[in-house]
Each structure stands twice: as structure tokens, then as C-alpha cells.
Amino acid sequence: MTIHAGVRVDYFDVVDGAVTSPRGAVLLHPTRSSNHVIRAGFGRGFRAPSLVNNYLEVEIFNAVDVGPPIGQIIFPSIVVGNPDLVVERLDQFEIGYRGSVANGKFSWDISAYRTETTNSIDFYTSEVYTAFNPPPGWSLPTFLLPSFGPVVLPARFSYRNIAETVNKGFEVGLRVLPVSRNTLIVNYSYQAEPEVTGVPAEDVGIPPQHRFNVAWSGWAGKMYYGASVNHVGEAYWTDVLDSRFFGFTDSYTTLDASLGHMFLDGTAEASVRATNLTGVEVLQHVYGDIIGRRILFEVAVNVR
């Protein structure tokens, strides 16, 4: 059995007192060889509020289309920091098993984890315009002002601490050496929907539940090659302004490949790398760019 332990102490002038980050792991070898290892670990980390989180103060122009008879409304919103934020804390627990057989030609890694994030720092709509607090220059009857439901006019954005967010999941990985100078890697991970306390669950993003990839790489003489299939499940994003911008990204599967050749006694190489060969439309963030097919040709020379 092997035990690793340590502790780190940090001090932030924006919060009261110092914070400690203990970490530890226990490694068990059920057999005399090092081919099989059972591990359990714990770690704690902190994130202090930034100057933006604490002291930001800026006015932005916002727009909402509330439909007929009003149409689009352009109005100001204020974004302010919160000097009362406390430190965000992350506690992570993990247990896993790593093993190999056939002189390392077949190996695997299985792990499960649980993370508890306390006082997570979150950007949110702290105030909306209402009939009793209309936007500057509002010239229509105040009863036409939307102040509830899916369409609201955000008056103020700020930062807050979320009481607790719990994430749980597991990962399975396999590594196989089928023939000389070739490697096959298979990996699958699952992450459950976060358990949230302190705020409505729909205010917190949901990462992809399923991720899967298969990759093959190898060498043949002076040539190297590789290919991989990658799948990412749908995700829910809430990190842009107010709920009008929240939404899901679709799951996607991409095919990547690479081919290269070494020459000049290994001091130079020419390669071609392709990502998303099938050209599917990939949207990694609900308000991100659409990523298509990309092919890169490269020549590199090492000058000694």
C-alpha cells in the first residue's frame, strides 16, 4: 500500500482568512506485481472571486422582441459585481482500478468520481424591469411591460454564490496493442445531471452525459498514421446573459484522421491532418461557432 498526502495554503485579500487545500490518495496493489492498482483519492480546491466578480460596473444595451404590437425593445441593462461573494470550493472523491495483462498489450482503467462544488460563483439576472420600475424612456402603458414568464427585460445582472452543485460519473478506458507499433484506445465516460441546491436547476448548465471515442494510431517504417471517432452527447448552456440565451447543443459524432512521413533522417516531416472529415455541423456551445471540416497540411524541419 502506498499513501500520498499533502496540503496547500492560500491567502486571498478579497476574502477573510486563508484557505487550505488538502489532498491525498491511497494505492493498493492486490498482487505482488505492479500490473494491478486500486486507488482512492480526495482533493479540495478553491477559487477566489475575481476583480470582475467583485467590482464590475458597466452599462450595456439589450434588446428583446416581445411580439406585436410592441415589437423589438432596446433598453439599457446594468452589470455590477458583488463584493460579498465568498470563495468557491470544490471537493473531489475518486476511486479507480488500473490493470494490465499479456505484458501490457491489454490494459484498462476504470474510475468513478463525485465532485461537490460549494458556493459556486454564478452570473445571473438579479433584477428585471416591471410596471413599477420601467426602463428609461418607456413611453407605452406600463401594463404592456413583460415582467414574468419566458420574456422579461433584464434590468441588472450580477454574481452570486450557488449553495451546492454535485456532479457524479464514471469513466472506462481500454488500451490494446493489437500488432507491433500500433495502438487501439477506447474510452467512454458518463456524467449524471448535476444535483443543484440554492437556485433553480434550470439556471445551471448540464454537461454532456455521454462521451465516447475510439482511436487507432501506429507506425510503418517512416510513415505514421491515425484515425479516431469521437461522440459527444447534447449539453445545456446557461452562461450567456439571461434565459433567452440558454439552450441545448445537439449531440455530434466526428471522424478525424492523420497521415505523416518522416524524411531527411528524421529531421523533417510532412503531414496532413483532418478533423471532422464527414463535415457534420458541430456546435460545441449554444452560441459558439459552427465547426465544419478542416484539413491541415504541414511541413516541419528541425534545425540543429
The pLDDT of residue 148 is 53
**87 close to 118: Cβ distance less than 8 angstroms:** no
The pLDDT of residue 146 is 63
pLDDT tens, position by position, 22-65: 999 999 988 777 789 999 999 999 999 999 999 999 999 888 77
Range from 138-147, 171-180, 245-254 carrying the lowest mean pLDDT: 138-147
pLDDT tens, position by position, 65-97: 767 777 777 889 999 999 999 999 999 999 999
pLDDT at 230 over 70: yes
pLDDT tens, position by position, 162-205: 999 999 999 999 999 999 999 999 999 999 999 999 888 888 99
| pTM for the model | 0.83
What's the mean pLDDT when you consider all of the chain? 90
pLDDT at 151 over 80: no
